[in-house]
C-alpha cells in the first residue's frame, strides 16, 4: 500500500518487494554458479605430504586416521595413486630411528639417509613430479627441537650451518623444492647461498614464512615421534597472537631469495594468508596441518560432518583467502573427488 512500502504487488497482482538488485540471479543454476565462480581448486594446486620410515610395512597413525607411515616401496604406490588424480607434488617427512638422532642432527645430511633415497626413488619413477623436502632438524634431533640445543636454548647460527648441509644433500639427491620449516633467522639466505655455491641454482625454496607455535601440530609429532624433549617451540615459532609479525618474516624471506611463502597452520590463519597475499607477489602456500586434519576426521567418524563437502569447501576457502598452493593430508582424496566431480 503506497509508494515505498516494503511489500507491494506487481502488475500481475503478485507479491513484489520492489528492488532491482537481486544477487540470487547469479546463483540460480549450477551452470550459472560455475560461470561466475571466482575460485577454482585443481589437483595441480596440492602438495601431498608423505610420512616414510625404514620398515617394510605400512603403519597407521592413530591420531591421523587414513594416514600412514609408508615403506619406501609403498610410498611409490601412494605417489602413483595420487598421480592418477592429477597430484604432481609431494613432500616427504621421515620417521627416524632413535639411534640415529643427536643434538646436531647429523643424520639429516647423510647422503644415504632415508630422505635422499626416497627423493631419488620418486624422481626416477616420476621424472615430471615435483619433490619437496622439509628442512629442519627435528626428525633427527634427540632433543625434539628444530635446532641445536645448548644450555636449554636453541642456537640460531649453529642450526643454520646444519640446515645448509641438509639442503645441499637433498638438492644433490634431486629435490626440486627445499622447504625450511625451522624458523631460524636468516636461514633462507644462507640456504640459497649454500645451494648456489654448489651449483643448485635451480633448486627452489618454499619458505615456511609464518609458522606459528601452534597446538595443531600434535598428530604430526605423533607420526614422527618428534615431540619436543623439553619446553616448547615459542622462542622460534611465531606467537599466534601476531599478524603483523608475519609481514616482517615475509619481507625477510623474499629479500633472502625465497621462491614461495608458506603460512602454517591453515584454517585459523586465513587472515595471515590474505595479508601476505596483498604484501608480496610471491606464490603463497597454505599448510592445512595435522591437527586440522584430525579434527575433521574425528567429526566425520562421528557422522557430524559430510567429509567430501567439508574438505572441498576448506580447500576452496584457502584459495579464496589467497593461497595459490595447498599442502594437505587430504590431497589425494580431494584430488580424487575433484576428478569425479569434473569441477575444473
Ligand atoms: C617441524 C615441522 C612440524 C610440522 C611440519 N614440520 C611440527 C613442528 O613444528 O613441531 C607440522 C605439520 C603438521 O602438523 O601437519 N619442522
pLDDT tens digits for 125-163? 999 999 999 999 999 999 999 999 999 999 999 999 999
Instruction: Encode the chain in three state secondary structure.
Output: CCCCCCCEECCCCCEECCCCCCHHHHHCCHHHHHHHCCCCCCHHHEEEEEEECCCCCCEECCCCCCCEEECHHHHHHHHHHHHHCCCCEEEEEECCCHHHCECCCHHHHCCCCHHHHHHHHHHHHCCCCEEEEEECCHHHECCCCCCEEECCEEEHHHHHHHHHHHHHHHHHHCCCEEEECCCCCCHHHHHHHHHHHCCCCCCEEEEEEEEECCHHHHHHHHHHCCCCCCCCCCCCCECCCCCHHHHHHHHHHHHCCCCEEEEECCHHHHHHHHHHHHHCCCCEEEEECHHHHHHHHHHHHCCCCCHHHHHHHHHHHHHHHCCCEEEECCHHHHHHHHHHHCCC
Q: 96, 138, 265: which to mutate for ligand 1, most atoms within 8 A of CB?
A: 138
Q: What is the pLDDT of residues 320-338, one digit of tens each?
A: 999 999 999 999 999 999 9
Average pLDDT over residues 198-204: 98
Q: Is the CB of 289 under 6 A from ligand 1?
A: yes
Q: Which atom of ligand 1 is nearest to the CA of 237?
A: 9
Q: Is the CB of 293 under 6 A from ligand 1?
A: no
Q: Is the CB of 212 under 6 A from ligand 1?
A: no
Residue of 211, 233, 319, 332 marked active site: 211
What is the model's pLDDT at position 96?
A: 96
Beta-sheet strands, E only, within 80-219? 89-94, 130-135, 148-150, 153-155, 177-180, 204-211
Q: Is the pLDDT reported for residue 343 higher than 80?
A: no
Q: Is 319 a catalytic residue?
A: no
The protein residue whose alpha carbon is closest to atom 7 in ligand 1 is 217
Structural domains of the chain sorted by starting position, each given as residue range(s) with its CATH number in brackets: 41-341 (3.20.20.70)
The band of 209, judged by pLDDT with boundaries at 50, 70 and 90, is very high
What is the model's pLDDT at position 86?
A: 97
Q: What is the pLDDT of residues 222-256, one digit of tens each?
A: 999 899 999 999 999 999 999 999 999 999 999 99
The protein residue whose alpha carbon is closest to atom 10 in ligand 1 is 217
What is the model's pLDDT at position 342?
A: 79
Average pLDDT over residues 75-99: 98
pLDDT above 90 covers a percentage of the chain that reads: 96
The closest of 217, 192, 214 to 205, measured between CA atoms, is 192
Q: 61, 69, 139, 181: which to mutate for ligand 1, most atoms within 8 A of CB?
A: 181
Q: Is the CB of 166 under 6 A from ligand 1?
A: no
CA of 339 to the centre of ligand 1 (A): 29
Q: Parallel, antiparallel, or unpaired for β 177-180 and 204-211? A: parallel
Q: Are 210 and 246 in contact (CB under 8 A)?
A: yes
What is the model's pLDDT at position 341?
A: 86
Q: Is the CB of 217 under 6 A from ligand 1?
A: yes
Q: What is the pLDDT of residues 277-300, one digit of tens each?
A: 999 999 999 999 999 999 999 999
Mean pLDDT for the chain overall: 96
Q: Is 101 a catalytic residue?
A: no
Q: Are 276 and 301 in contact (CB under 8 A)?
A: no
- As a whole number of angstroms, the distance between CA 43 and CA 103 comes to 38
The band of 4, judged by pLDDT with boundaries at 50, 70 and 90, is low
Q: What is the pLDDT of residues 30-62, one digit of tens each?
A: 999 999 999 999 999 999 999 999 999 999 999
Q: Are 67 and 341 in contact (CB under 8 A)?
A: no
Q: What are phi and psi of 25, to 5 degrees?
A: -60, -35
CA of 224 to the centre of ligand 1 (A): 9
Q: Is the pLDDT reported for residue 271 higher than 90?
A: yes
Grid cell, residue 326, equals 595447498
Residue of 95, 101, 233, 264 marked active site: 264
ipTM above 0.95, yes or no: yes
Q: Are 48 and 333 in contact (CB under 8 A)?
A: no
Q: Is the CB of 134 under 6 A from ligand 1?
A: yes
What is the model's pLDDT at position 3?
A: 54
Amino acid at each position: 500500500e503506497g509508494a515505498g512500502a516494503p511489500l507491494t504487488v506487481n502488475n500481475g497482482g503478485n507479491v513484489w518487494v520492489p528492488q532491482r538488485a537481486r544477487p540470487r540471479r547469479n546463483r540460480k543454476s549450477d551452470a550459472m554458479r560455475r560461470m561466475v565462480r571466482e575460485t577454482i581448486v585443481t589437483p595441480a594446486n596440492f602438495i601431498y605430504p608423505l610420512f616414510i620410515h625404514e620398515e617394510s610395512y605400512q603403519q597407521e597413525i592413530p591420531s591421523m586416521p587414513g594416514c600412514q607411515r609408508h615403506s619406501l616401496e609403498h610410498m611409490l604406490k601412494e605417489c602413483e595413486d595420487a598421480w592418477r588424480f592429477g597430484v604432481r607434488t609431494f613432500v616427504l617427512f621421515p620417521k627416524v630411528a632413535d639411534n640415529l638422532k643427536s643434538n646436531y642432527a647429523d643424520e639429516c645430511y647423510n647422503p644415504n639417509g632415508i630422505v635422499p633415497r626416497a627423493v631419488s626413488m620418486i624422481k626416477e619413477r616420476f621424472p615430471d613430479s615435483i619433490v619437496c623436502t622439509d628442512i629442519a632438524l627435528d626428525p633427527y634431533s634427540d632433543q625434539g627441537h628444530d635446532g641445536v640445543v645448548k644450555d636449554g636454548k636453541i642456537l640460531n647460527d649453529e642450526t643454520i650451518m646444519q640446515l645448509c648441509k641438509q639442503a645441499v644433500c637433498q638438492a644433490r639427491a634431486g629435490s626440486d623444492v627445499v622447504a625450511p620449516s625451522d624458523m631460524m633467522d636468516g636461514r633462507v639466505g644462507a640456504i640459497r647461498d649454500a645451494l648456489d655455491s654448489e651449483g643448485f641454482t635451480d633448486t627452489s625454496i618454499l619458505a615456511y614464512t609464518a609458522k606459528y607455535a601452534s597446538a595443531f601440530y600434535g598428530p604430526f609429532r605423533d607420526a614422527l615421534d618428534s615431540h619436543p624433549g623439553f619446553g616448547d617451540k615459542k622462542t622460534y615459532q611465531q606467537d599466534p597472537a601476531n599478524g603483523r609479525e608475519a609481514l616482517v618474516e615475509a619481507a625477510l624471506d623474499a629479500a633472502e631469495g625465497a621462491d614461495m611463502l608458506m603460512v602454517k597452520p591453515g584454517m585459523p590463519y586465513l587472515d595471515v594468508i590474505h595479508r601476505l597475499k596483498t604484501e608480496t607477489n610471491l606464490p603463497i602456500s597454505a599448510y592445512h596441518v595435522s591437527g586440522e586434519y584430525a579434527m575433521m576426521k574425528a567429526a566425520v567418524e562421528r557422522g557430524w560432518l559430510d567429509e567430501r563437502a567439508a574438505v572441498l569447501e576448506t580447500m576452496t576457502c584457502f584459495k579464496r583467502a589467497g593461497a595459490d598452493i595447498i599442502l594437505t593430508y587430504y590431497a589425494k582424496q580431494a584430488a580424487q573427488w575433484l576428478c569425479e566431480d569434473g569441477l575444473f
